[in-house]
Structure 1
Amino acid sequence: LSKASASGLALLAWLVNLLLIPVVSFYLLRDWDLLVARLRGLLPRTREGLVVKLASECHEVLGAFLRGQLLVMLALGVMYAVGLMLIGLELGLLIGLLAGLASIVPYLGVVVGIGAALTAGLFQFGSDFYPLLAIAAVFTLGQMLEGMLLTPWLVGDRIGLHPVAVIFAIMAGGQLFGFTGVLLALPVAAVIMVLVRHAHDLYKLSDLYGEPPSVSDEPINPA
């Protein structure tokens, strides 16, 4: 009874949180401009322009990341659907598109897709080994293309990160923070890139970077 009640309360809390998402989203969208204006009014007047500029650049790269991620999802959905339909899987179109949509979370798309596709393949092809092997090959190829081609090009180019930096950010995020790190690696890397770029510009304008005056440029003191 205690386990059942705990599970029931956890399910109820999850449903409540799920119902709160559209409510909170509605009020955030309605009052977003007011919230931004209030936060901007709290900024120090001497630093307002700089903070607003950095926030605008972060907003642009995060928007570019979301657009690039949507393109990756679309490409993977088409790739999975075409591959599964070529194999002859009857639910190939539906499973491929669902796997592409689930790819918004790294590795979730391939896990959901290959699980659903293999289950459908077992019912359709029975004990025939080669169609099941072909299904696994489709998702393996899609995962390789996502990690080495789609994400670095479609996401990395849009947020200004080199493809090697994209791969390194995802690997580092996974090693440091696990699944959450993989999910947040690229947005965090994009924001860090904006801050590093601004720090680089400040360094180029600083006296530390500037060359010391030459002997001929030094003023001559009259005797």
Structure 2
Amino acid sequence: MVHYTFLLIGLSLLVYVLHKLDGILLPLFFSALLSTLLLPLVTKLEGWGWSRVLAIIAAIFLLISGLAGLIILFGSQILDLRAELPLIQQKLAIFFDQGQQWLHDRLGMRVMSKDEFIDSSLSSAKKSAGGFLGSTISTTAGVLSVVTLIPIYIFCFLYYRDHMRQFMFRFVAPDKRTTVLHTMDSIQTVVQAYISGLLTVIVIVSVLNAIGLLILGVKFAVFFAIFASILAVIPYIGIMIGATIPALITLVETGSPAKAAGVVGVFVFVQFLEGNFITPMITGSKVSINPMAAIVALILGGELWGTPGMILSIPLVAVLKVVFDSNKTTEPWGFLLGDVTDGDDTKRDKSDDKPGFLGKAWHMIKRM
């Protein structure tokens, strides 16, 4: 009891510290993951004779260029979507009236006019406007500070990687350093494979989603394809959100339920390919998180750090699983986080097939 009491107290203190130091820890965690992703490129450039500083700067420049290109692509799609908003609002008002009339005819509910709906929405918006504005300003300032710090942290992680490894060795006895070195290399390799594989899956799923939506003639197909592919990382919930929004906009734009159903069908089909063929072929069985652990991690990450916590939750759980699997003491926890695979079922003991007291009583009743 004393052991578990101190364990619970330690976990509570850890959560408290993680929550209070989010402004310091979040940039560090993002930088560590991105550094792990960029490490193979930096190592290859150093092997070609580049200096370490130049290789790190080139890798960071490529990363920033890729993110900038993605932001520009998203920004252009968002601007196009914003230009279409007045027309979408008009069509949405027509659907609103039709839905109100259907509810009145079928269920006898009072029809709410558009003016009443707008007035109620404006009044609730005015009440929360101050808090929303304050949270928006604070969030924007936090994002700008994080964006500024992350490249600096990435440079430091990559430049001082040998120094940090030697620092960790000072906690280990000399006769065990070889084992620790192999464990660290294994963790690094698996994490790199997981993150790079995850990004590859997102790119492939984005292309497949875009092809399907472009064939159906859906507006803003590229934006919705990338948006849904990123959300698809969230098991079950992501595909629902990623398919619902473009389906509703397609329904409002075209007024065709069949076309909206076709949009949902595209996302469901691509999700089926991703779960059964794409992800197993790319990421393999190196790191596989079961959906329940992923959903719980997303909820905990959101409660702890908000949206950045949800983004970090899946990679951090993958890192935890690799760390747990590398130690025999914590290996059961890694097994708990992992996905269900064939052949892992516990073999039943033949003694379990023997009837117990209730089974013997039931057999005696049947004989009577």
Q: Is TM more than 0.5 here? A: yes
Tell me, yes or no, if the aligned pair for 1:40 and 1:48 is still in contact at 8 Å. Answer: no
C-alpha displacement at 1:35, in angstroms? 6.1
What is the aligned partner in structure 2 of residue 183 from structure 1? 314
Tell me, yes or no, if the aligned pair for 1:99 and 1:110 is still in contact at 8 Å. Answer: yes
C-alpha displacement at 1:26, in angstroms? 2.0
Distance 1:90 1:151 in 2: 28
What is the aligned partner in structure 1 of residue 229 from structure 2? 100
> Is 1:53 matched with 2:188?
no
Question: 145-154 vs 2-11, which deviates more?
Answer: 2-11
Tell me, yes or no, if the aligned pair for 1:65 and 1:187 is still in contact at 8 Å. Answer: no
What is the aligned partner in structure 2 of residue 142 from structure 1? 270
Matches within 5 A, 1:7-86: 7-32=132-157, 33-34=159-160, 37-38=163-164, 40-41=166-167, 42-46=170-174, 47-86=176-215
C-alpha displacement at 1:59, in angstroms? 0.9
Distance 1:175 1:103 in 2: 12
1:173 to 293, 297, 300: 293
> TM-score w.r.t. structure 1 length?
0.68
Distance 2:140 2:237 in 1: 21
Question: 95-104 vs 52-61, which deviates more?
Answer: 95-104
Residues 151, 188 of structure 1: alpha-carbon distance in 2 compared, 3 angstrom cutoff: farther
What is the aligned partner in structure 2 of residue 221 from structure 1? none
2:283 to 138, 155, 160: 155
C-alpha displacement at 1:107, in angstroms? 5.5
Distance 2:295 2:223 in 1: 33
Question: 9-18 vs 174-183, which deviates more?
Answer: 174-183
2:250 to 116, 121, 128: 121
What is the aligned partner in structure 2 of residue 209 from structure 1? none
C-alpha displacement at 1:51, in angstroms? 2.4
Superposition CA RMSD, Å? 3.3
C-alpha displacement at 1:186, in angstroms? 3.7
What is the aligned partner in structure 2 of residue 192 from structure 1? 324
Deviations 1:58-85 (A, max 9, x none): 1111000011111211121111111112
Distance 1:179 1:44 in 2: 36
Residues 179, 133 of structure 1: alpha-carbon distance in 2 compared, 3 angstrom cutoff: same
Residues 35, 74 of structure 1: alpha-carbon distance in 2 compared, 3 angstrom cutoff: closer
What is the aligned partner in structure 1 of residue 39 from structure 2? none
Distance 1:155 1:21 in 2: 29
C-alpha displacement at 1:117, in angstroms? 1.7
Tell me, yes or no, if the aligned pair for 2:251 and 2:257 is still in contact at 8 Å. Answer: no
Deviations 1:106-142 (A, max 9, x none): 557534532342233124311x221111111111222
Percent identity, please.
16
- Structure 1, unmatched stretches of 5+, are 200-223
C-alpha displacement at 1:50, in angstroms? 2.8
Distance 2:138 2:234 in 1: 22
Count of aligned residue pairs for this structure pair? 190
Distance 1:109 1:73 in 2: 13
Tell me, yes or no, if the aligned pair for 1:84 and 1:135 is still in contact at 8 Å. Answer: yes
Residues 100, 172 of structure 1: alpha-carbon distance in 2 compared, 3 angstrom cutoff: closer
- DSSP-derived class of the 2:218 partner: coil
What is the aligned partner in structure 2 of residue 207 from structure 1? none
Matches within 5 A, 1:204-223: none
- DSSP-derived class of the 2:283 partner: helix
Residues 130, 154 of structure 1: alpha-carbon distance in 2 compared, 3 angstrom cutoff: same
